[in-house]
Every structure is written in C-alpha cells, then in structure tokens.
C-alpha cells in the first residue's frame, strides 16, 4: 500500500534562529526520522557534476566495472542483483548497482583510471568534502535538538575523525520480466548516525514509519528541487534511546532510470556510543547500555 500525500519537514540551514531550527529537527526526527534540508550550500553545478560522472561509470560495460569489484573493506563496485537489503525478501538481489567510496585520502578506496575518467576522482572528493561539511553542521543542530550543547558530539570525541562513506547508486529503467515485483532497494534502515541523500528527481523512495503495522503503509518521499533528504540511522536511534527514529525505507521501480548518492556519516571508529543523558530517566531507562558494536559494524559496511 502506498500513499502520495507525505510531506516531510523542510529544514533551512540558512536560518539564523538555531533554536527554532533545532526544534523543527527534533519534531521531524521523532515523527518521521526523515526530513529535507534546503539552503545547504551545495550548488547545482556540484550535484550535476556528481551525477554526470556517476553516469559515466555506470554506463561502462559490466566487465569494466567488475575490475573495481567491491572489496572486503566495502570499497568499490557492486553489480545488480548481488545484494538484498531486506534479508526476509523472497527475491534474491535488489535491482540497483552501486559504487562505494570511503573518506577522502582513504587508502582502501578504489578509483577508475584517470586516463579513462579524468574528472571522476576529483569530482567525488569535492562532493565528499562539501557533503561532510553539511553533515557536521546538522550534527551540531541535532545536539541542540536533543537539549545538549551544540558542540556535544565534538567534545566527546565523536567527530575527531568522522567516518564518511559515499555510495553512488543507479537503478535501471527497464526491469526483466523475471524480476518484476522485486525492488530497486528492498526495505531496510540505515546503520549509522545520519544519511544525507541527493537524487536526480526520479521518484521511487518510500518510507514506512510504523514497521510493525500490518499491513504496512508505505509513503512516497517526493522530490524537492535543490533539497537533500536526511534520515536518522540505527546508531542515532540507540544513542537517543529511541527518541529519534530510524525509519525503514525502500526504493521501488517506476519504469525510469534513477540515480542517487547517499552519504553515510558516522562517528570515529573508537567512539563509545551510550544512551544520552537527555534521552533517559527513571521512567525511561536506557534500552541498550552501549551501541559500540553498531559503530564498528557501520564503519566497515559503508
């Protein structure tokens, strides 16, 4: 079941009223786990360049792309139908193909040859730097939204060397008859702190706010020109003792080719993640003591 009347909150990063912005983020993270971010400072030229270079790579023959097959460290190319995000799905293999890149200067990263794609690496690194900056600005506002000092996550060392992973995604327009009913990306939640998503405007993204409801209600996330789509991950849900929700989402096939790029922002590897004091009380004790295992898993999964 799908509804078309979902309108997520718009968070304006250019607002000088940080308290009001933080309150809007808090409400969005409690109600939806998703929100839009506008006036984030990443201009259309940068985004268009990202998608242009992404398309160049995904247009290569499969044999060429497989030369950069994803490593055990989760850097590189993943072919269509080789990953199923929803492990309970009756279908084996989501439609999407992807390419994963770790933080800038990460020695584990794989890159297409400069001779064949001269602008590819510099474009990805430029976008990575800009989207990381937006993510860190959001984390500061999220701290305020949790009734913490705006520099809380910096002070506890969570952002000494934050882990950022960029995942380029391509969903095919035409689906083989044998794969009809399968998903571009099957139902899942993200593992880390927050995810920042940019899309080419083609629809398909849906969220399910009540995952235990039967039947599940899936709602379309509409494209907002120039906006990023941000969602809370499992780690942040645990960090906040479920005050903020990590919402299940998926991508359905709509008969159009679709490109997107997800940036996963996580704390540094040795960060201790435990229930925030502002999110627990005698009547609402911590549900988990630590989420450290999630940190380590996320940092290796991208």
Q: Which residues of the chain have pLDDT under 70?
A: 1-5, 176-181, 289-302
Query: Does residue 226 contact residue 44 with C-beta atoms inside 8 Å?
Result: yes
- Phi, psi (rounded to 5 degrees) for 115: -65, -40
- Per-residue pLDDT tens digits for 37-92: 999 999 999 999 999 999 999 999 999 999 999 998 889 999 999 988 887 777 77
Q: What is the DSSP string of 80-142?
A: TTS--S-TT-SSSS-S-EEEEE-STT-TT-----TTT-TTHHHHHHHHHHHHHHHHHHHHHHH
Provide the pLDDT for residue 293: 46
Provide the pLDDT for residue 42: 98
User: Cα dihedral angle (108, 109, 115, 120), rounded to 10 degrees?
Assistant: -160
Q: Of 235, 221, 188, nearest to 28 (Cα)?
A: 221
Provide the pLDDT for residue 145: 98
Report the predicted TM-score, pTM, of the whole model to 2 decimal places: 0.92
Provide the pLDDT for residue 56: 97
Quickly count: other Cβ atoms within 10 Å of residue 1's Cβ: 8
Provide the pLDDT for residue 294: 47
- 256's tokens: 């159009």
Provide the pLDDT for residue 291: 53
Provide the pLDDT for residue 58: 98
Query: Does residue 3 contact residue 217 with C-beta atoms inside 8 Å?
Result: yes
Provide the pLDDT for residue 194: 98
- 200's tokens: 């080419």
Provide the pLDDT for residue 290: 58
Q: What is the DSSP string of 205-225?
A: EEEES-TTSSS--EEE----T
Q: Of 48, 168, 53, nearest to 116 (Cα)?
A: 53
């Amino acid at each position: 079941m799908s509804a078309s009347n979902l309108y997520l909150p718009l968070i304006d990063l250019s607002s000088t009223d940080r308290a009001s912005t933080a309150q809007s983020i808090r409400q969005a993270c409690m109600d939806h786990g998703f929100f839009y971010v506008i006036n984030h400072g990443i201009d259309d030229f940068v985004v268009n360049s990202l998608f242009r270079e992404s398309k160049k790579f995904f247009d290569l023959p499969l044999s060429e792309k497989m030369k950069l097959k994803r490593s055990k460290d989760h850097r590189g190319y993943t072919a269509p139908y080789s990953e199923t995000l929803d492990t309970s799905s009756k279908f084996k293999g989501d439609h999407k193909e992807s390419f994963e890149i770790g933080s800038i200067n990460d020695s584990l990263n794989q890159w297409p040859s400069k001779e064949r794609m001269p602008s590819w690496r510099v474009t990805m690194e430029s976008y990575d730097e800009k989207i990381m900056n937006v993510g860190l600005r959001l984390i500061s506002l999220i701290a305020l939204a949790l009734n913490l000092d705006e520099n809380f996550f910096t002070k506890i060392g969570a952002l000494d060397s934050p882990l950022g992973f960029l995942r380029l995604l391509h969903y095919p327009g035409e689906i083989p008859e044998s794969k009809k009913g399968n998903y571009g990306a099957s139902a899942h939640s993200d593992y880390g702190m927050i995810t920042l998503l940019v899309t080419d405007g083609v629809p398909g993204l849906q969220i399910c706010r009540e995952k235990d409801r039967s039947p599940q209600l899936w709602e379309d996330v509409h494209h907002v020109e120039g906006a990023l789509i941000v969602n809370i991950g499992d780690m942040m849900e645990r960090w906040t003792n479920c005050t903020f929700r990590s919402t299940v989402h998926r991508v359905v096939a709509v008969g159009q080719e679709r490109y997107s790029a997800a940036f996963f922002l996580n704390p540094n590897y040795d960060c201790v993640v435990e229930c925030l004091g502002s999110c627990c009380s005698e009547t609402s004790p911590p549900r988990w003591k630590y989420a450290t295992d999630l940190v380590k898993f996320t940092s290796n999964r991208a």
